[in-house]
Structure 1
């Protein structure tokens, strides 16, 4: 494996040696990042996780994450849209999820799970909407992002493979 050397033209911000960092003025060492790259008030609206392996192992990995999301001290729901058949009420109970803060939604006959997830996101009654769209096109991803921003929520897509 080869690495290309770092040249002065490849570094965007001046780097100080360790010694220079101690004697440099504070405002030179701790510079604020440019405004267009820092968005503390607008976190990422979309995340995606991909699990591979035996379904029961994938659900075991997913359980702590969902448990954490179900325990969020928030007035809004954790919504699961069209979860896999193995994710049942008894699985939720055994995994230790707060079932009082979870909505399980299944699409109607004339509705896709992507449409339902977008609708749940847009309504803004959920802090996080978890979907299982696989495969998810870039257009579908953009729909989820737009809906999440509109409803001030987070979209999490899980791909089980």
Structure 2
């Protein structure tokens, strides 16, 4: 079945693709929205430590988080994706419904007097995880440096998520 074209062929050829239109725009200063980034996004070593701040309704935050965690759970690296002390809304059912590879994920909770920071640093140092995701809030500069050091030792990535 053929559908009639809504535009004459000459008009279709003159139309740029979205990618071409974006690339054709002159490079200018960053958009004002970028100026609102907070200091924790800037780190000394972006290769081993990242921080993501999500604010809003829990459902919306989880919807934004799902594709990122799904991608991390499908990494080609044979090591684990480790989630340290995730919020209560990140249940096994949510992980399944979000399409994460649950066979490649460790969910860890601190025990006894151990803090979530200590457990995160230990998981990073051991190097059995390609990425260790934590929910540490607030995260001091000293704690951030501890995560960076531990991630370097274990050749791992540290991702801290701040839910607001």
TM-score bracket for the superposition, by shorter chain length: 0.7 to 0.9
Shift of 1:104: 0.2
Shift of 1:74: 1.4
2:47 aligned residue? 44
Q: Provide runs of 4+ in structure 1 moved above 4 Å.
A: none
SS at match of 2:123: helix
**TM-score, L = length of structure 2:** 0.72
Name the CA distance, whole Å, in 1 between partners of 2:80 and 2:92. Answer: 16
SS at match of 2:130: strand
Kindly report the root-mean-square deviation, in angstroms, between the aligned alpha carbons of the 2 structures: 1.0
Gaps of 5+ in 1: 1-41
State how 1:58-77 maps to structure 2 within 5 Å: 58-77=61-80
Gaps of 5+ in 2: 1-44
Could you tell me which of 99, 109, 112 is aligned with 2:112? 109
Name the CA distance, whole Å, in 2 between partners of 1:45 and 1:65. Answer: 16
- The alignment of Structure 1 onto Structure 2 pairs a total of residues equal to 120
Matched, 1:132 2:126: no
Name the CA distance, whole Å, in 1 between partners of 2:74 and 2:47. Answer: 20
2:144 aligned residue? 141
